[in-house]
């Protein structure tokens, strides 16, 4: 099994410029290749392969654009391969779109290959030399990496061989109720508190966003440097929020997948809930999509089974003790009280026990 890693880079000014140049060449090659393909279609010729395009690029484009020589040849080469993949996807996969021209500053990325090594807090990359990583690690024999930009940060992504530990599952089957008041309640009683990074950073974000609109000059083509700075601040806050959320979710999903033989969750139909705006935004803030995604692959890693109860399964309304279903249960009712057997339990705990039972049936 392979596992992808994505680590933030701490580039110095020289390296940032070089990264921009690489992304620029990759974009230029992609766009050039795209127009070459379009021309071929117009002439009703066969679409040139990525190898044909690369040969043509070396003889016709590279010689006229000196800046191509400043970057690794892998950057334009892989860009043309990506273009080829995009076309193949378009012809094969229903619903996929035709490749379009890449715009500067949007999804900037490029590719490097060689004998790459990450050691201590640094990664050694062809053309770049040593680059500082945001965390320490030790990996040798990395064949290729992708460098990409997101919210004014640069990242390196690569794959490493990964043997998941098939741990002894000490905790057996578990039902997990995902909530708003709490992130997750397990049928054995464990409660994971809600992560609300958005709520925490809401004020900061609002102030930063106000600065952006304040510094925007109407009717001006070129905006000021301060406007750009304000925009960077907003993007960085958004990024921070997404990181906090992801990390908290990783903790929970790892705990679950490592220790339980079967995990039962509910299928949360977020689009169906979006009618209730408040509820929907809380759910998105809780990162339930991400929760499900992480649990999916971690269960495969650690050899546990993920069961998803369909969204019509009334986990909240059913008594986990006698099975009697309530006709109504409002969101305000935090404690479940059964009219039939007088069983009382925390609403989320009751739901999680029902989910555990669903998995067993």
Question: Closer CB to Zn ion, residue 20 or residue 326?
Answer: 326
Residue-wise burial string across 287-319, b where 16 or more C-beta atoms lie within 10 A, e elsewhere = bbebbbebbeebbebbebebbbbeeebebbbbb
Q: Six-digit token pair at 353?
A: 């026990």
Mask for 267-296, x = binds Zn ion (CB under 5 A): ------------------------------
Kindly state whether residue 321 participates in binding Zn ion, applying the rule CB under 5 A: yes
Q: Coil, strand, or helix at residue 66?
A: helix
In three-state secondary structure terms, 39 is helix
Q: Which of 51, 151, 322, 331 binds Zn ion (CB under 5 A)?
A: 322
Minimum CB separation from Zn ion for residue 342, in Å?
7
Taking CB under 5 A as the binding criterion, the range among 93-101, 132-140, 239-247, 337-345 that sits at the site for Zn ion is 337-345
Residue number, 71 or 353, with CB nearest to Zn ion: 353
Q: What is the DSSP string of 264-331?
A: EEE---HHHHTTSHHHHHHHHHHTHHHHHHHHHHHHHHHT-EEEEE-TTS-TTTB-TTT-PBPS---T
13 is catalytic: no
Place of tokens 């990964």: 162
122 or 343: CB nearest Zn ion: 343
Of the listed pieces 56-64, 183-191, 286-294, 341-349, which binds Zn ion according to CB under 5 A? 341-349
If one asks whether residue 341 binds Zn ion (CB under 5 A), the answer comes out as yes
Q: What is the C-alpha separation between 75 and 82, in angstroms, rounded?
A: 11
**What minimum distance in Å lies between the beta carbon of 340 and Zn ion?**
5
Total number of residues that touch Zn ion (CB under 5 A): 8
Query: Least distance in Å: CB of 346 to Zn ion?
Result: 15
CB-nearer residue toward Zn ion: 88 or 340: 340
| Residue of 261, 343, 345, 346 that binds Zn ion (CB under 5 A) | 343
Q: Which residue has the tokens 């908290």?
A: 248
Nearest CB to Zn ion, comparing residues 195 and 338:
338
What is the smallest separation between the CB atom of 178 and Zn ion, expressed in angstroms? Answer: 23
DSSP for 171-214? S-EEEEEE-SSEEEEETTS-EEEP--HHHHHHHHHHHHHHHHHH
Residue 135 or 339 with smaller CB distance to Zn ion: 339
Residue pointed to by tokens 């997948």 = 257
Cβ atoms 75, 110 nearer than 8 A = yes
Cα 270 off chain centre by: 18
CB of 318 to Zn ion, least distance (A): 9
**DSSP state at residue 316:** T
Tokens of 315: 């986990």
Binding residue (CB under 5 A) for Zn ion from 19, 118, 295, 319: 319
Give the tokens for residue 184: 């997750």
Which one from 177, 305, 344, 346 is the annotated catalytic residue? 177
Q: How far is CA 105 from the centre of its chain?
A: 19
How far is it, in rounded angstroms, from Cα 356 to Cα 218?
Answer: 58
340 sits near Zn ion (criterion: CB under 5 A): yes
Selected catalytic residue, list 13, 117, 310, 348: 348
Query: Considering the complex, what minimum distance in angstroms separates the CB of residue 174 from Zn ion?
Result: 21
Residue 319 CB partners (closer than 8 Å, separation 6+): 325, 326, 336, 338, 340, 341, 343, 350
Residue 229 binds to Zn ion (criterion: CB under 5 A): no
Find the part of the chain contacting Zn ion (CB under 5 A) among 36-44, 166-174, 287-295, 340-348: 340-348
C-beta of 119 vs 326, nearer to Zn ion: 326
Q: Nearest distance from residue 341's CB to Zn ion, in Å?
A: 3
Pick the catalytic residue: 52, 165, 222, 266?
266
Question: How far apart, in whole angstroms, are the C-alpha atoms of residue 310 and residue 290?
Answer: 18
Catalytic positions: 177, 266, 348
Which residues contribute to the site for Zn ion (CB under 5 A)? Answer: 319, 321-322, 324, 338, 340-341, 343
């Amino acid at each position: 099994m392979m596992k992808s890693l994505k680590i933030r880079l701490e580039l110095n000014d020289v390296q940032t410029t070089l990264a921009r140049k690489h992304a620029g060449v990759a974009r230029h090659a992609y766009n050039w290749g795209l127009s070459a393909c379009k021309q071929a279609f117009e002439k009703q010729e066969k679409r040139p392969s990525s190898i044909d395009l690369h040969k043509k690029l070396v003889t016709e484009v590279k010689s006229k654009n000196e800046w191509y020589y400043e970057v690794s040849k892998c950057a334009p080469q892989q860009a043309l391969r990506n273009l080829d993949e995009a076309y193949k996807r378009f012809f094969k996969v229903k619903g996929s779109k035709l490749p379009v021209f890449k715009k500067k500053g949007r999804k900037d990325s490029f590719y490097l290959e060689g004998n790459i090594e990450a050691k201590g807090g640094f990664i050694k990359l062809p053309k770049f030399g040593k680059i500082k990583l945001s965390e320490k690690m030790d990996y040798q024999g990395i064949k290729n990496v992708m460098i990409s930009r997101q919210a004014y940060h640069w990242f390196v992504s690569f794959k490493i061989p990964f043997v998941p530990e098939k741990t002894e599952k000490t905790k057996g089957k578990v039902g997990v109720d995902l909530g708003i008041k709490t992130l997750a309640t397990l049928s054995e009683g464990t409660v994971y508190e809600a992560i609300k990074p958005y709520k925490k950073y809401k004020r900061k974000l609002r102030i930063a966003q106000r600065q952006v609109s304040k510094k925007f000059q109407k009717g001006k083509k070129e905006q000021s440097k301060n406007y750009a700075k304000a925009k960077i601040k907003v993007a960085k806050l958004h990024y921070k929020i997404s990181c906090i959320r992801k990390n908290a979710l990783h903790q929970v999903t790892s705990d679950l997948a490592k220790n339980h033989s079967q995990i039962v969750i509910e299928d949360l139909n977020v689009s169906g809930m979006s009618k209730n705006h408040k509820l929907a935004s809380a759910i998105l803030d809780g990162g339930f999509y991400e929760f499900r995604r992480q649990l999916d692959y971690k269960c495969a890693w650690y050899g546990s089974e993920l069961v998803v109860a369909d969204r019509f399964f009334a986990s909240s309304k059913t008594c986990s003790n006698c099975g009697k279903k309530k006709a109504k249960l409002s969101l305000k009712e935090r404690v479940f009280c059964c009219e039939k057997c007088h069983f009382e339990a925390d609403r989320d705990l009751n739901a999680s026990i029902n989910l555990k039972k669903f998995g067993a049936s």
